[in-house]
Structure formats: C-alpha cells, structure tokens
Amino acid sequence: MASEQQLPVVKGARVLMVGAGGIGCELLKTLALSGFEDIHIVDMDTIEVSNLNRQFLFRQHHVGQSKAKVARDAVLKFRPHISITPHHANVKSPEFNVDFFKQFNVVLNGLDNLDARRHVNRLCLAAEVPLVESGTTGFLGQVTVHVKGKTECYECQPKPAPKTYPVCTITSTPSKFVHCIVWAKELLFAKLFGDKNQDNDLNARSSHSDSSTDPIEDIFERRLDEDPEQYGRKIYDHVFGYNIESALANKETWKNRNMPKPIYSRDVLLNSSSQQNGVFNDFRTDSSVVSAMTSLGLKNSQEIWSLVDNTRVFLESLKLFMEKREKDIGNLVFDKDDQLAVEFVTAAANIRASSFGIPPHSLFEAKGIAGNIVHAVATTNAIIAGLIVIEAIKVLQNDARNYRMTYCVEHPLRKMLLMPVEPFERSKSCYVCSETALLLEVNIHKTKLKDFIEKIVKRKLGMNCPMVMQGSTLIYEEGDDLEDDVAGSYALNVEKVFAQLPAPITSGTILMVEDLQQELSCNINVKHRDVFDEEKEHDQMVLTGWTPAPPAEDGVGATNGGEAAADVREPDEVATAPERSAVVVGNKRKLSEISADSSVQRENENDGVSCKEMPAEVVDDGEDDLVMLDDGAWEVGKKPRSSLQ
C-alpha cells in the first residue's frame, strides 16, 4: 500500500496498463494492492495453457478467454471497490488515439514487441502523458521512465535486433543446429507453404533434367499425377539429397570442412513413410487433430527422434498440410504456436543436421530456437512490476529528480541485484521527439513507392497509417474513408518508381511523412545513388539519421524468403552488457564531472557500479516470446543525462 503522503495522488490517478501477460498480471495485482482505484487495461490476447505457470490471475478454465477481462475479474475478487476497465483489443486500433491517451495520468507498458512499444511511445508524446516502460527475459529485466521534455523518449536509444546469419552459412555451410533451424524455417517452410514465387537457393537444377539445355523443372511445383506421398519424397530427395550432392561438387568449399552426406528417402525408409520394421502404424484417432506426431504415435516432445522418425514426421507433416490445410498454402508464415509447422521445421532441421554431422534436437528444443523462446521467470516479472509502480508513483508526484531507470541483473554486481541509473536527456538526433530530418539514399529509377512505404515508412519508422507528401502534393495516403477514385490513384502510384510519380521524386527532394493516428511527422531528404552492396544493402535503400539496432557481427537484416541473412536468437546466447561511457550507477553527476575524470573508475563511491557492468536492455514482457538483447555500445558519454528539476 502507498504511504499516507502518496495515497491521495495514487487514489486520484487514472492509469492505463498496456499488456496483461507475464508482467501485466503482476502489475495489475500490485497496482490494486498499492491503492490505485481507476485502472484501464488493453490487451488483445487470449489465455493459453502455457500462460498458467506464471500468470497467476488465470486458471485452467480461463483458457481461450480474454486476458484483460479475466485479469480484471480476478483482481476485483480481492479489491472489489476499485474500477478496472478491460479492453480486449489491439492498442494500435484507431479507437486508442491521442484523445484516448489524454484521459490518463500515466501509461504503464507490459508489451512483448517493439512495434507496439514504439506506437505507444508516440501516442504518449503526442498526448503529453508520462510512460513507464518495462521488459523481462529470464532473470534479466528493466524499468525505464519517459516524460516529454524531461527525459529521452523510448526511441531515442537504438533498440536491439535479433542475431542474423549470412545466407552462405545457412544455405551451404551450416555448423550449428540454429543454422539448420533457420534454413528449415526461413527457406524450406517459406518456399513450400509461403509465397511460391519467391526465389532462393533451394531452386537448384533438378536431377531429373536430362541436359543443361532442358528447361529447369520447378521441383516445388506439384504435378497433377503426384499424390502427397510422391510429392513429399520428391522434395525430400531434392533438398536433402540432390542439393547436397551439388554442393559437394565444389571441392574448394570442403577443403577445411567436414563434407556433408546426401540423404535420400529410399535409403532411410525401406518401404514407405508409414511403415517401420515392416509393420504398418496408423495412430490417427481424432480427425480434428492436425499433427504429424499424433498420426505417427510420437508422444514425447522432449525425445530426440531418430533419422527414420524425422523422415516420417517430415513426410507426414507435409502430407497433412496438403490434405488438411490446403487453403492455407501460399500464405503461411512460420508460427511457433502452429504445432504442424513446428513439427515440419523440427524434422527438416534434424535431417539437415544429420547430413552435416550436427547433433539433432528434440521438438521442444527446436521450438525454443525457432520461436526465439527464453522461458520466463515469475519472480523477475514480480520484481519488475513492483519497480513500475514505484516509478509511476514518482511520476504522479512529479518527483522528477528521483526518476530512475532500474535494471534487474542475473548475477549481483557489487552486491546489487537492482541497478538504478538516472534517465537521459532526449537525443537531438531522434526523429520521433526531436523532429530531426532523415536521409534516404535510393536509386530513384528503380525504387518503387510501395517498397519505400513497406520497408522504410512502416517497417523502419513504425508508422501504421502513413501519408506521404512532396511539398503540397499528396502522393500517398492510407485510410478507410478514402474515395474510390482517390484510393485508385494511390494504388497506381505505389507501383511506380520515384522518378515516374506524378510529382517526381528526384535527388534533393524532401518528403514529409506523417501518421495522423500517432500524430507523428518527419522529413526525409532523398539522395540518388546508383550502386548498392547487394549483401549488406539488399533493399537498395539506406536510411540514416534514425536509431537502428547495432549491426550484428556476421549478417544483415532478415527477409522472409531468406534472400538476406536470416534472423534468430539462440536461447543460450545472451548478449554482453553494452558499455555506458563513464556512467556510475547510483551517483547523480553532471556531464562536466563525467568528462573531467572519465579515466577514473568510481567503484567505491556509494558502492556504485561502473559502466562496464551495465546490463543490456531487454524487450520482452515475460511471455516466453521473442527475446532481443542489445549487442552494441550506447555511447552515453556523448549525450548528457536529463536535468531533472
């Protein structure tokens, strides 16, 4: 419960909570027990069985119900006099606009993805409502405070990105199981069940072609006379057999590497994929269950399958996709919660691993790698939730001098489990809160407007409903209320290259990009460029002036088709802490003091912790979901901490 001094401001506050998952459940409970009486919750998710081991407001009979609504009902049982309003919806929905955010005294985030976090950050800036951010993964976590005009915004600092791997490693020379997972997930699964027109290195010449003059057969095209079993074996033999044999032809590649072994289905299975040791096995008892494991009688997801079992699962899962989920084929994207997809990727990765002499993994382990899962720790969520409430109370009291970014570390440093640091001033180069112009290098004769919208405006700048203007000319806009003729003209524009637009975009053009929902606008200076590095700049668009994640040490950004490096994080690979130049935890010091004796390690002042021991920021919500840790230095010494008055 808040102290007597804090209670009036706590009771009178209206709080918006975004996210009712791992952190959210603990946060709602702590808010209620601390004296808050007017709380709104926004969460679009429903309860899953896997949530029950750490989200203690939920029970078995709640599975499938709204998290926001069930969390409300659970808390009202022990705090019946308070007001909790649940919203089972996406926080990016138009109903949650700037006016909606202006109702609240503080916003508390417990989200699990960067896109939604950035959206909330922008709405809070526009509404001038303080934001308290948070994240956890395993034993790590942090809470940060963002107040317009007093601290940096959430997007002032570069945000972490998944680790990436070069295409050549994934397609030709895998050495780790994660490489096989990326190949199975980003290349094979995407090619078979996603966009059929995407091109990647799986499209090698089929061994069925008689000569180099024959048309190259699209091995992934299913012939009319092929049943699912035949088609599955054809794919199997091509990707695990013929493609490996083709790779072995390049002797130079294998001078200092172990040579892989081609694997063909006829060598693994004596008769058919549904037989083992001459006995026919068919365990399908429930036609509604679309699972290769169920069909084949494999029950233990933590058991490592043999090559025979992996082959059977591969063929069975492919057959089930064609027979039971034919309508989905062509539009599927890998989802860790899709059992059949996980089975297929696990089997494919294990078969490829066997070919390259890499130890196989169980489905449970493979799912963790493919889904970027690091299992949540309920205690960490509870600690972080408590810290959120502490910072929220400071915000409500306008106690800016005592705002803190607090990190929870796995291994106590200087006998400290929690490490508080003063917030920093906003970055002058932040395009979100400082209105700094960006620079975009493109080939104006090749780059289409739709690529700019999707890859730059939406993906990198995080806008949802963008509007693009050149001077006074509106060249693109999104919205449900557009007239048909206007929408039609924009549809024509997106297929045109920059130089051919009605208002041509040339080198030196300044574009104004705006998202009315987020009340965010920024200017982008366009510069023409003819040549790009195909490996590192595969989009042929280079945006500078924003704050991207630190580059991975051996790859570039990911695409679904795997044309660039694929992105995935190994669960046992945790990023090292970034160095924060001359920052000492727990000490309030001016920038001039930091600069004057940056060479001195202040480990004994108030038992402080040096910058070299600062933890990395995490962006998870305690939901066993995507984990992305910061791999780069933050260069804090180049920008002052906020002067909080």
Binding residues for ATP: 19-24, 43, 51-54, 67, 112-117
Phi then psi for residue 85, to 5 deg, are: -110, 115
Token match 């041509």: residue?
Answer: 504
Separation of CA 218 from chain center: 33
Amino acid identity at 452: F
Backbone phi and psi for residue 385, each to the nearest 5 degrees, phi listed first: -60, -40
Quote the DSSP letter at residue 527. E
Q: How far is CA 589 from the centre of its chain?
A: 35
- Are 618 and 377 in contact by the 8 Å Cβ rule? The answer is no
Nearest to 281 by CA among 234, 230, 321, 316: 316
Q: Which has the closest alpha carbon to 564: 196, 158, 198?
A: 198
- Farthest CA pair distance, the chain: 87
How many CA atoms, within 13 angstroms, populate the side-chain half-sphere of residue 502? 14
**Catalytic entry in 25, 124, 168, 180:** 168
Angle, alpha carbons 577-562-448 (nearest 5°): 100
> In the annotation, is 522 catalytic?
no
Known binding site: residues? 19-24, 43, 51-54, 67, 112-117, 153, 156, 430, 433
- Distance between CA 506 and CA 529 in Å, rounded? 11
Q: Report residue 43: phi and psi, to 5°.
A: -160, 130
**DSSP H or E stretch at residue 293:** helix 292-296
Tokens of 140: 């790590």
Q: Are 182 and 189 in contact (CB under 8 A)?
A: no
- Could you count the other beta carbons within 10 Å of the beta carbon of residue 87? 22
List, in order, residues 6 or more apart from 306 with CB less than 8 Å away.
none
SS3 of 351-368: HHHHHCCCCCCCHHHHHH
Q: Residue 494 corresponds to which tokens in the numbers above?
A: 């997106």
Binding site residues for Zn(2+), as ranges?
153, 156, 430, 433
Which letter, b or e, does each residue of 521-535 get, where b requires 16 or more Cβ atoms within 10 Å of its Cβ? Answer: bbebbbebbeebeee
CA dist., res. 154 & res. 531, Å (int): 34
Cβ of 111: how many Cβ atoms within 10 Å?
Answer: 26
Contacts 24+ apart (CB under 8 A), 323-329: 323/228, 324/290, 325/290, 328/193, 329/192, 329/193
31-36 LR contacts (CB < 8 Å, sep 24+)? 31/108, 31/389, 31/392, 32/75, 32/78, 32/79, 32/82, 32/84, 33/1, 33/79, 34/1, 34/2, 34/10, 34/389, 34/393, 35/1, 35/2, 35/6, 35/7, 35/10, 35/11, 36/10, 36/11, 36/82
- What value does the CA radius of gyration of the chain take, rounded to a whole number of Å? 27
Q: 């048909």: which residue's tokens? A: 484
Catalytic residue positions? Answer: 168
